[in-house]
Amino acid sequence: MRLRKKHFAIPEMRENPYVFFNGQENKGRWREIFGNDNPIYLEIGAGKGTFTIESAKRNKNINYIMVDIETNALIYATRKILEEELTNVRAMPINAENILDYFDKNELSRIYINFCNPWPKLKHKKRRLTFPRFLEKYKIILKPKSQIYFKTDDLELFEESLDYFTDCGFSTLVEEFDMKLEDYPENIVTEYERKFRKLNQKIKFGVFEYYRD
């Protein structure tokens, strides 16, 4: 569902020092931006930021970057950075298509993809954030032996994504077709996950690692 346009979103985010509209300038410089050598985790399609914000509160020794093309949602995420005084979070309103413009080789230690658009129509599947053309880009910006964490409620997307990851040379570390909360006490439940669980929809979860020398 598309959010109603928030005319205040972009002007407000431009005033936020933790939001970058010209993030290309930070490529290869993210450790300098954060001011430390802590691992950098990226969430693609962060929406309103529930996952990244809570993760950053729990893990002050990890740096987080959240990106989303939808500024009408991201505005709420960027507000939380200021409200929670989180110095280990940055945000960019960008299209994941251009992810290589914003991150250098080996710059990230982990990527999260939570409840992305499943794009069920055949002609649209190439837009999936787990489609091979995206995975090949992620392989460049991830450090060796880093992981991608992926959650979805969509069975077809999950099954086909398992093939995408395998075809692109990733090892499957975790494969859950019905993720039980009691098995993952550290799991952060986003608004989407909460909604799907209330509807008794099974949550699919996978962790994938790409190894290169």
Return binding residues for S-adenosyl-L-methionine. Answer: 43, 68, 95, 117
**CB of 78 within 8 A of CB of 115?**
no
Host H or E run for residue 207? strand 204-210
Distance spanning both ends of the chain, measured CA to CA: 42
What angle (nearest 5°) sits at the alpha carbon of residue 175, between those of residues 172 and 180?
150
Residue ranges at the known binding site for substrate: 121, 153, 190-193
Residue ranges at the known binding site: 43, 68, 95, 117, 121, 153, 190-193
**Longest Cα pair distance anywhere in the chain, in angstroms?**
47
Residue 123 CA: distances (Å) to CA of 77, 120, 145, 153, 161: 31, 9, 32, 21, 16
150, two tokens = 């992926």
Helix-strand-coil percent breakdown of the chain, rounded to 5? 40, 20, 40
